[in-house]
């Protein structure tokens, strides 16, 4: 879709390993960390398309984590917009380390108005 995509990177540290985030017992790049990096890439890709007061929220991740990455290695995530249906954005996503692809799949986000979304969410506390 007009080449709307973004790539973001980070280095695997002790803080984003499976053992540190509670998603496993090994000192390797955590799946939740990979997913967060993928979401960050998607957010950056579509930020220029959003209006004032608008943001997006992640609603679906369908991603395979294909290979482990050790502490100290760089990882990157790329999100490319492949479909837009009103307020829904669909991305093809990949994650890679210095040796190749470590994750791939799809990710969906929905555009929302920040203030209204936050008010509705925090109204749950008053029920």
- 3-class SS string, the chain: CCCCEEEEEEECCHHHEHHHHCCCCCCEECHHHHHHHHHHHHHHHHHHHCCCCEEEEEEEEEEEECCCCECCCEEEEEEEEEEEECCEEEEEEEEEECCEEEEEEEEEEEEEEHHHHHHHHHHHHHC
| 127 band by pLDDT with thresholds 50, 70 and 90 | confident
Residue 75 has a pLDDT of 98
Model confidence pLDDT, tens digit, residues 41-75: 999 999 999 999 999 999 999 999 999 999 999 99
Domains of the chain: 5-126 (3.10.129.10)
Question: Residue 37 pLDDT more than 80?
Answer: yes
**pLDDT over 70 for what percent of the chain?**
99
Active site residues: 31, 39, 65
Model confidence pLDDT, tens digit, residues 3-23: 999 999 999 999 999 999 999
């Amino acid at each position: 879709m007009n080449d709307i995509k973004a790539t973001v990177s980070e280095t695997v540290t002790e803080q984003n390993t499976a053992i540190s985030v509670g998603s496993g017992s090994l000192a390797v790049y955590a799946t939740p960390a990979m997913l967060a990096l993928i979401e960050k890439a998607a957010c950056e890709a579509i930020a220029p398309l959003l209006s004032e007061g608008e943001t997006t929220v992640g609603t679906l991740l369908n991603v395979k984590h294909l290979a482990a990455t050790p502490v100290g290695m760089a990882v990157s995530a790329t999100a490319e917009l492949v479909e837009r249906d009103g307020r829904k954005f669909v991305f093809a996503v990949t994650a890679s380390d210095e040796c190749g692809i470590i994750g791939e799949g799809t990710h969906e986000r929905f555009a929302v108005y920040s203030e209204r979304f936050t008010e509705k969410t925090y109204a749950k506390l008053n029920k």
